[in-house]
Amino acid sequence: MTLASIPRWLILLLVALAARAISFGNPILHVDEEFYFTAARMMAEGAVPFIDVWDRKPIGLFLLYAPAAALGYPAGIWAYQALAFACLFGTALLAMRLAERAGWRRGALAAGLAVVLWPNLIDGQGGQAPIFYNLLMIATASIIAPRAGAEPSPARRFAEGMAAMALVGFTLQIKYSAVFEGLFFGLWLLWREWRLGTPLLRIALIAVPLAGIALAPTAAAWAAYAAMGQSEAWLYANFWSILGRQTDPWLHQLSNFVVLTLITSPLVAMAWLSRRQLSGARAQRAMAEFLFIWAAVALAGVIVFGSWFNHYALPLIPPLAACAAGFLGQYRRFAIGLMLLAFAGGTATLIVKRYERGTPAEIAAVARAIGRGPGCLHVYSGTTMLYPMTGRCAVTRWIFPSHLNRDRERGAVGVDQLAELDRILARRPEWVVMRKPYRGELPEARARMTAGLARGYRLETTLPVGKDRYALWRIRPASRSAISRE
């Protein structure tokens, strides 16, 4: 068997497995997905998102994690990471297919490889939200993008449009930032009708159900909370709190933007250069133009959204990689070298992050030190994965540490941060975890927690987790006795 005879999907699968091997089973890949898993685990135990455990993410993201989280720790870690891997692989396969439809078959495999390799460079090695919803977005693109042959009948176009907008609707309940791509897909469908000569009144009538089905999952979530009498809680968590959040210092944002730009610039440049490799076939040129516009919209969405953390660029990868296929197919040796460099760079990045953020063994040692028991746990700062790892209860619904101790969250989480810290200490959790100070932490929050710990807790041990150190505070017997008398 020669290399050329190996199915491309198999090459893609093997490379994806090799690229992600180091991350499988690691429960502390990124603070975001650690929280998603923890919140979903609490859901399995009866907690209601936004009421018993608070966050701004749509409920669909927690429902996505729920089956894996129901398995508990550690099986659930492998389960959600397997699901994320399957979604990434599916996204790569569809990116290859879109590249082929644009006339770039020679570069299609390289485009698929870029989809599985680039996430390792931007904190997409696990289960970040875009790893899941990129599959829905690229499936939407596959449904509505131009194709060879005669245009489908009006009924067929409408059915395809409804299916596409349904996928957009589900995506919005994974992360609302996908609204930019969703708007593009919807407007593309309406523009296609106008180009085909459909009367404006009929286009307007078509737009209503298309918009309706895209908004239906979000409306259903709102209705469910309204039925529980929690409409305002849902609205605040999902929308109003976003408007109240402070921005990070401009220098911090600028550094984020520079790093994000450097990592994504090769894909952007290759996508742009692919405009010189357009096919002469009308359908393929139309397909390429669709991909270029999609990539531009996704890029604009990231720029407008702000903050520019590395993983915010994950939605850019599928459209940019598909567009880059034209250039990569023309310069095959360069493509091979670039993919090897991306693989090496991604692997090195994961190794460095593992060193900085900690290993499974290190966080397991922290969990063992805390142990299981009847007393509750409060992670003031550190990984929320300690909740499912120890099985201990929480004493607040704001379990994501940044919500209570980060300066930019001041006045944007529905509770006074310092007052909530006082309430937490008043409930006397058995254990409190505190890591070293970090950039952006609210100084008053650390001071309030440190003073409270000095009054009623003793420092049991300090353990390393990557470059950080976790201080484990346990309630003093006298304070525990006070609880029993209350």
> 282-333: per-residue pLDDT in tens?
899 999 999 999 999 999 999 988 788 999 999 999 999 999 999 999 999 9
**pLDDT given for residue 485 in this prediction:** 42
Mean pLDDT of 70-87: 98
| pLDDT in the model for residue 479 | 67
pLDDT tens-digit map of 13-61: 999 999 999 999 999 999 999 999 999 999 999 999 999 999 999 999 9
pLDDT of amino acid 5: 80
Task: Determine phi and psi for 459, rounding to 5 degrees.
Answer: -80, 110
Return the minimum-mean-pLDDT range out of 268-282, 328-342, 346-360, 453-467: 268-282
Assigned token pair, 352:
């460095």
pLDDT value, residue 3: 61
Predicted local confidence at residue 94, as pLDDT = 98
Least confident range of 142-156, 177-191, 242-256 = 242-256
**395 has pLDDT over 90:** yes
The pLDDT of residue 199 is 95
> Other C-beta atoms within 10 Å of 319: how many?
28
User: Are 274 and 288 spatial neighbours (Cβ–Cβ below 8 Å)?
Assistant: yes
pTM: 0.95
Q: Which of 148, 139, 141, 156 is nearest to 193 (CA)?
A: 156
**Structure-block tokens of residue 103:** 């006339």
What local confidence, expressed as pLDDT, does residue 272 receive?
Answer: 96
Say what percent of the chain tops pLDDT 70: 98
Query: Of how many residues is the chain composed?
Result: 486
What pLDDT is attached to residue 249? Answer: 80
pLDDT band at 486 (very low <50, low <70, confident <90, very high): very low
Task: Kindly report, residue by residue over 143-173, the tens digit of the pLDDT.
Answer: 999 988 778 899 999 999 999 999 999 999 9
Looking at the predicted structure, is the pLDDT value of residue 465 above 90? yes
Per-residue three-class SS string for the chain: CCHHHCCHHHHHHHHHHHHHHHHCCCCCCCHHHHHHHHHHHHHHCCCCECCCECCCCCHHHHHHHHHHHHCCCCHHHHHHHHHHHHHHHHHHHHHHHHHHHCCCHHHHHHHHHHHHHHHHHCCCCCCCHHHHHHHHHHHHHHHHCCCCCCCCCHHHHHHHHHHHHHHHHHHHCCCHHHHHHHHHHHHHHHHHHHHCCCCHHHHHHHHHHHHHHHHHHHHHHHHHHHHCCCHHHHHHHHHHHHHHCCCCCHHHHHHHHHHHHHHHHHHHHHHHHHHHHCCCCHHHHHHHHHHHHHHHHHHHHHHHHCCCCHHHHHHHHHHHHHHHHHHHHHCHHHHHHHHHHHHHHHHHHHHHHHHHHCCHHHHHHHHHHHCCCCCCEEECCCCCCHHHHHCCCCCCCCCCHHHHHEHHHCCCCCCCHHHHHHHHHHCCCCEEEEECCCCCECHHHHHHHHHHHHHHEEEEEEEEECCEEEEEEEECHHHHHHHHHC
Q: Which of 165-174, 210-219, 438-447 has the lowest mean pLDDT?
A: 438-447
Token pair 């929050």: residue: 445
Average pLDDT over residues 213-239: 98
**Residue matched to tokens 């989280």:** 69
- Are the beta carbons of 348 and 403 closer than 8 angstroms? no
Q: How confident is the model at residue 72 (pLDDT cuts 50, 70, 90)?
A: very high
Q: Residue 484: which pLDDT band, with cuts at 50, 70 and 90?
A: very low
Q: Are 152 and 382 in contact (CB under 8 A)?
A: no
Q: What is the CA radius of gyration of the chain?
A: 24
Q: Residue 485, Cβ neighbours under 10 Å: how many?
A: 5
More confident residue, 243 or 215: 215
The strand pairing partners of 459, in sequence order, are: 473
- List, for residues 336-391, the tens digit of each pLDDT value: 999 999 999 999 999 999 999 999 999 999 999 999 989 999 999 999 999 999 99
